Structure 1
Amino acid sequence: MEANTLLKNTVSISQFNKGQAKKIFDEVKQTGMKIVFKNNEPECVLLSPDKYIELMEEIENALDYAMAIERIESDSKIYSLDDIKDEFDVTEKDLDEVEDDEVDFV
C-alpha cells in the first residue's frame, strides 16, 4: 500500500472519543478500511464487510492454490476430470444437475 493511501486510511482512537464514530464508519464503507492508531501505534484495522469478504476469498484462493501445488509436487496420482467421469460413470448432464455447494473434494 502506498504511503499516501496509508495516511488517508488512518484514524486516531481519540476521534472515536470525540464522537466521530459515525463519520469514521462512513469512511470505512467508502474506502474499505481504516487503520486505528492509539498512542502513535497501530491498534486495529476496521474493514467494511465487502473488503472482509474480498480478503477472505483471496486467502481461500491462496490456500487452494498452495494445496494444488502440494498435490502436484507429491507422488500422488493426478486424475483428470474425464478419468473420474469414466470411472464413476458420470456424465456432463449429471454434473450440470449438481449444485456447486453439494460437491466436496478432499
Structure 2
Amino acid sequence: MAYTADILDSLVPITQFNRGQASRIFDRLHTENRLIVLKNNQPAAIILSPSEFQRLSKIEENYTLLLEATRRLKEDSSSTYSREDVMSELGISEADLAAAGDVVME
C-alpha cells in the first residue's frame, strides 16, 4: 500500500505548469525520483530526476548486454574457449595476472 501512496504523492496536475510553478515542481526532483504529470486527470508524462534516469539507463544497458550475450551463447557455443586456452594463446601466465593487480571497470 505504501507504493500507492508514493504514486499519489508524485502526481502533478499540468495546470501547475500553466500557473508558473514549474520551478517548484522541478525542485521536487531533488527529493523524489519521478513525477507523473496529469492532463485531464490522466497520466500524460513522467519527469525523472537525473539520478533515476541514469539508474534506469544503466539497467537498460545491462539488459541489452545480457540479451546479446545470451544470443551469442545460443548461436554458436562451439566457439567458446577456456581461460587456460586463451592465456596460453596470448602468452599470459598466472604470475602475469597476479602482478597486474586489480582492474577497475566502470
Q: What TM-score comes out, normalization by structure 1 length? A: 0.75
Q: Return the alpha-carbon distance in structure 1 between the equivalents of residues 41 and 23 of structure 2.
A: 22
In structure 1, the residue matched to 2:18 is 17
**Cα distance change on mapping 1:88 and 1:99 into 2, 3 Å:** farther
For the pair shown, the structure with the greater C-alpha radius of gyration is 2
- Counterpart residue identity of residue 92, structure 1: L
In structure 2, the residue matched to 1:64 is 65
**Cα distance change on mapping 1:8 and 1:81 into 2, 3 Å:** farther
| 1:21-100 correspondence to structure 2 within 5 Å | 21-76=22-77, 77-90=79-92, 91-92=96-97, 100=105
> How many corresponding residue pairs?
101
Query: Percent sequence identity over matched residues?
Result: 33
Q: Return the alpha-carbon distance in structure 1 between the equivalents of residues 82 and 88 of structure 2.
A: 10
- Counterpart residue identity of residue 34, structure 1: L
Instruction: Quote how far apart the aligned CAs of 1:86 are.
Output: 2.2
- Counterpart residue identity of residue 32, structure 2: T
**Cα distance change on mapping 1:3 and 1:89 into 2, 3 Å:** same
Instruction: Quote how far apart the aligned CAs of 1:79 are.
Output: 2.5
RMSD of Structure 2 on Structure 1 (CA): 2.6
Q: What TM-score comes out, normalization by structure 2 length? A: 0.75
Q: Could you say what secondary structure the match of 1:19 adopts? A: coil
Give unmatched runs, 5+ long, in structure 1.
102-106
Give unmatched runs, 5+ long, in structure 2.
none
